[in-house]
Structure 1
């Protein structure tokens, strides 16, 4: 019997995204194949990260019992709908485990759950046969591997992950080492002078590894370093990698320079020189300096990855890219500029620089969502939904508050990237025109940008979008952690809270009518007491009930929304006197003045760059 080579769906790459897609396609009995160039799944993690410690959190113990809630803090497990799922937290209790364990976990996942993966199949060319007759269903992709085998499909998904290094475009870059190939032998760096190009996690990972051996490390980055604790974006610099910054500020030789390398060359003594531009707003007059530093024993480029290999595709299906070819251009449901070609896995971050699409704990949900959307687009299946009928105010409001208290997808893919949608279809009394019942259709985990373009959403008389978001944008830019203080407990609409919280936005015929931030808590749950004196834990659901009644007329309103019941306020809260308010205001103003004082004689521009390392 001839081997099957034609499929409805083909996935290129059996990394965590490809394996996750295979799991769901197998579950829904879709016609698919995953092709992988290596001899097993998860091969990227056999080598990367180079220094072997993952930066994806592996937190097994989280107080609360719900498996869904615990997935919020398990950043490496794949999704599984079985009663006894295979979890990465059973492989290690280290907060940042060794990458080799992740390879073992993905291999075991493929053994435990049936998947249609063909290994040792290196795709070297992709061609799209467009019939040009307006019927996309007749167009097919043809994939050719290095042995000349051909495979065809209607829908193609690229899950090849970080496929190529994103090298700096400067003369001499071919002379230096890269993140992908630099030596890990610390003996080679003892008392050496090392320059690292880059300012992301890979650059700091290398610097951290070398910090105890290298005599001096200079890190060159043209952009300011962005810290995950400031931006709340998991892809920015993580604390686990930033020891070199600590040493820099404590005057221990290693240093970070905000500058742009423009040329590298090797000198006669075998060492390296590097030319670079540095903006100097404090100089008189302000300007840009061009400098050269010589004598480096090693220069290592750690400037990230490209997430699509354009050399794999012929002229019939070259997707458009952005950021110097680093990311593919994707639409609201991860389709590239080539029809029927989608990007999955870490490449999904091409649309997302606020949530977690670049990591397993984010794109596992994107992949699950995309599977359902593909079934709707190509197989004519309705999007998965739950129906509540007849509408009961207590039932739906209590259910949704419990749901947002434990759900992981909206939590990980926060800032409104993925959302749930409630479509409310009211029934009214013909005589009084008062709402009596009806139904609610609840759709889970859809890209919000995609939802807002759908006719069924735009035409809905009443729809509620549910997300989980933080409000860091409401706070002063880069405010220190100790100033990131709780919002007003008296506020019914908590638009300024330091913790992620559920947000309900009401839409009528596509126009937003109201938005409600229900308030956050330390554990990011709305179904439990925050502390022993929390006398009104029902305030979260009360806010939703009041919102629901305002827009449907179903049930009743007037539910109490404050943190403490009225009788408890005097027992737990003492307002400041006018003298105390004045004293606190003076303290804050003094701090602000101190932070803006510089030992600088130039007043042309407010100082923004530390040039003390020159």
Structure 2
């Protein structure tokens, strides 16, 4: 590029930015000069080839807006406006006498999401600080996954019928949510001037269905900067966390039940916090069993995205999950031989409906193995590799063998590599890689604040992976210590999507709402129903559009509390002789386990959620897969049952694919709290599965829903003549 052309580009960039309200001229000119340098590098053949087709945009704007979005005044403002400040607010600085209400650990997606709701939805504007070790938010994704391709979907195209914003979030597995940018919380409709597809979404950062991890890292940092202005302390490493008794004058409703506060010492000073919320994720690499440990084994966390060091080498990989197969699929393209060695059976996501199980984008290696390449897969069965297996150095690399096999030991001692054969129990590798997952690291917690870890079988088979927590996301043994993000997945591990952004954006929101009720006298989002017809309309809309119920299937639920006729409800409707659902309370996105354990307040006058009596019925609305919809025959579910037996033409097919499930319970009191028990279940109704997730058929869906609500109405003592289906 000539000097004249470069100058022209700078002038044009400055003029365009000023016209769009770009602000400071020196900043714009600096951006323009950076752009010129960027173009020059490509003209010289430099730069990242993968990025050459990506549009160049200013760092303070969500890139890749389409022309329709770009025409709006709001979008122009977003594109031209400056990013929020990264400087911490003075009142949140460390080493102050004042307590911080909530100290969140980690500015990854979980910490960012939680803090966004803590700063927006909680009553009384509590103080919130996020402590981040790195100089940017979302730094985990600057390194992981190692080979940079995400397996979280980024769907960008929808039909006109699928225009509901909340529905579209069902197919966006990367974006975070903000109540100030969010549509109507009950319907998902874009009702306010502040709601727009121009809000921060991952689809504005990547056009790829499975995005590059760099794009997610950039998105998360932008989100934190724009949404958490002044609430994040960057470059702040937490050194220790302990508890001490609060002074009498410091005790408030936000003080934990043990009367103790947290003392968080960091590289920048000390924060004293009423509550600590760990959103650090599972970041400590899990180690191999002791008999398989060797100092020359490479950890997944030590790998780079360049596999060239493995070219022409023999590589062994320990693991059976996405990390192991991600590595194998990449390395096997250049290695001479690659083995994956698993200590448990492979669980495929498409067979279990669990997104944490092995995903097909990572399982290409199995094709290579089963189609007779030189790559292999070994499974040792359930449990660890045989204790008699060990690893020794030999032939310039590492040899895996049985420790008592003297013949193999002689082969290793001879140095004759050709005599080392797998059929004889001698496995030689140039490199061995450990990719067996992560666990929750408690090393920064002092004795007074260390959370217990889950016991074997409590969450995972071996235990020790997650902290033990209550249905309120609180540590079982440390009051005031909560968990958000991937760590909170302990409550739905292997069952739902809480370990991933598209799931924990909703569980993090649920935690914030629980804290609002418990510590600030707030209420859980709820609407009072006018009659059975309105209840039907709201439920039908939520079933067809709510992303929270869709992503956290079986874990989050809509709850309808129906007072029995003759009992005055919270809205003061005394005469309910005609319609039992008049005055019913419709709660959204409630953690089902919280209700089952009796820890949901139902917005009772008593913040503890205690009731003197329980003259009510409770409806739960969830999305669930069929109980038998798993295993190798999931793709044949229209013709076979779970065992593989072919179904006859006259047999009824179960509703196996994701579908709405409605349950009616008689209210039960447990320690003066309303709860749900299996014995109190009165009736269950399944709306027929629809592969397009369109549950609006007048006969198959709407009538079933209305009839179910009619049963609930009748059970609560309403007038049977008060409801009739005429939609």
How does the TM-score come out when normalised to structure 1? Answer: 0.81
Q: Secondary structure at the match of 1:439?
A: coil
Look up the match of 1:341: 481
Look up the match of 2:438: 305
1:272 aligns with 2:365: no
Look up the match of 1:351: 491
Q: What stretches of structure 2 of length at least 5 have no aligned partner? A: 1-89, 182-194, 249-254, 404-421, 455-461, 569-573, 603-610, 642-646, 669-679
CA distance in 1, matches of 2:315, 2:228: 48
CA distance in 1, matches of 2:108, 2:152: 16
Of Structure 1 and Structure 2, which has the larger fraction of its residues in strand?
Answer: 1
CA distance in 2, matches of 1:463, 1:44: 42
Name the stretch that deviates more: 220-229 or 107-116.
107-116
Q: Are 1:475 and 1:484, in contact at CA under 8 Å, matched by a contact in 2? A: no
CA distance in 2, matches of 1:241, 1:174: 27
Query: In 2 relative to 1, CA 539–215 (structure 1 residues): closer, same or farther, beyond 3 Å?
Result: farther
Q: Are 2:623 and 2:661, in contact at CA under 8 Å, matched by a contact in 1? A: yes
Aligned length: 536
CA distance in 2, matches of 1:485, 1:528: 23
Query: In 2 relative to 1, CA 135–146 (structure 1 residues): closer, same or farther, beyond 3 Å?
Result: closer
1:403 corresponds, among 539, 542, 556, to 542
Look up the match of 1:597: none
CA drift of 1:434 comes to: 4.5
Q: Are 1:526 and 1:540, in contact at CA under 8 Å, matched by a contact in 2? A: no
Q: Are 1:418 and 1:446, in contact at CA under 8 Å, matched by a contact in 2? A: yes
Query: In 2 relative to 1, CA 366–485 (structure 1 residues): closer, same or farther, beyond 3 Å?
Result: farther
Query: In 2 relative to 1, CA 126–179 (structure 1 residues): closer, same or farther, beyond 3 Å?
Result: same
CA distance in 2, matches of 1:294, 1:436: 74
Query: In 2 relative to 1, CA 384–486 (structure 1 residues): closer, same or farther, beyond 3 Å?
Result: farther
Q: Are 1:76 and 1:361, in contact at CA under 8 Å, matched by a contact in 2? A: yes
Q: For 1:565-580, what aligned pairs fall within 5 Å after superposition?
A: none
CA drift of 1:247 comes to: 1.4
1:443 corresponds, among 575, 587, 597, to 587
Q: Secondary structure at the match of 1:267?
A: strand
Look up the match of 1:474: 628
Q: Deviations over 1:351-383 (max 9, x none)?
A: 212100110000000000100101111122222
CA distance in 2, matches of 1:290, 1:222: 19
Query: In 2 relative to 1, CA 178–433 (structure 1 residues): closer, same or farther, beyond 3 Å?
Result: closer
1:209 aligns with 2:330: yes
Look up the match of 1:544: 708
Name the stretch that deviates more: 423-432 or 295-304.
423-432
Q: Secondary structure at the match of 1:411?
A: helix
Q: Are 1:234 and 1:356, in contact at CA under 8 Å, matched by a contact in 2? A: yes
Look up the match of 2:658: 500
CA distance in 2, matches of 1:498, 1:272: 47
1:256 aligns with 2:377: yes
CA drift of 1:425 comes to: 2.1
Look up the match of 1:247: 368
Look up the match of 1:590: none
CA distance in 2, matches of 1:312, 1:525: 48
Q: Are 2:132 and 2:237, in contact at CA under 8 Å, matched by a contact in 1? A: yes
Q: Secondary structure at the match of 1:506?
A: strand
Q: Are 1:423 and 1:460, in contact at CA under 8 Å, matched by a contact in 2? A: no
Name the stretch that deviates more: 80-89 or 124-133.
124-133
2:453 corresponds, among 321, 328, 331, to 321
Q: Secondary structure at the match of 2:594?
A: helix
CA drift of 1:404 comes to: 1.0
CA drift of 1:480 comes to: 4.3
Q: Deviations over 1:454-485 (max 9, x none)?
A: 276793521111111110x2247432412445
Q: What stretches of structure 1 of length at least 5 have no aligned partner? A: 278-288, 530-534, 562-614
Query: In 2 relative to 1, CA 528–87 (structure 1 residues): closer, same or farther, beyond 3 Å?
Result: farther
1:160 aligns with 2:276: no
Q: Are 1:546 and 1:559, in contact at CA under 8 Å, matched by a contact in 2? A: no
CA distance in 2, matches of 1:361, 1:76: 6
CA distance in 1, matches of 2:308, 2:579: 77
Q: Deviations over 1:403-457 (max 9, x none)?
A: 111001011000x211111011244499999444541111111211111232767
Name the stretch that deviates more: 551-560 or 116-125.
551-560
Q: Secondary structure at the match of 2:562?
A: strand
CA drift of 1:43 comes to: 0.6
CA distance in 2, matches of 1:436, 1:99: 53
Q: Secondary structure at the match of 1:104?
A: helix
Q: Are 1:16 and 1:360, in contact at CA under 8 Å, matched by a contact in 2? A: yes
Q: Deviations over 1:524-567 (max 9, x none)?
A: 131258xxxxx766434444344344434355567599xxxxxx
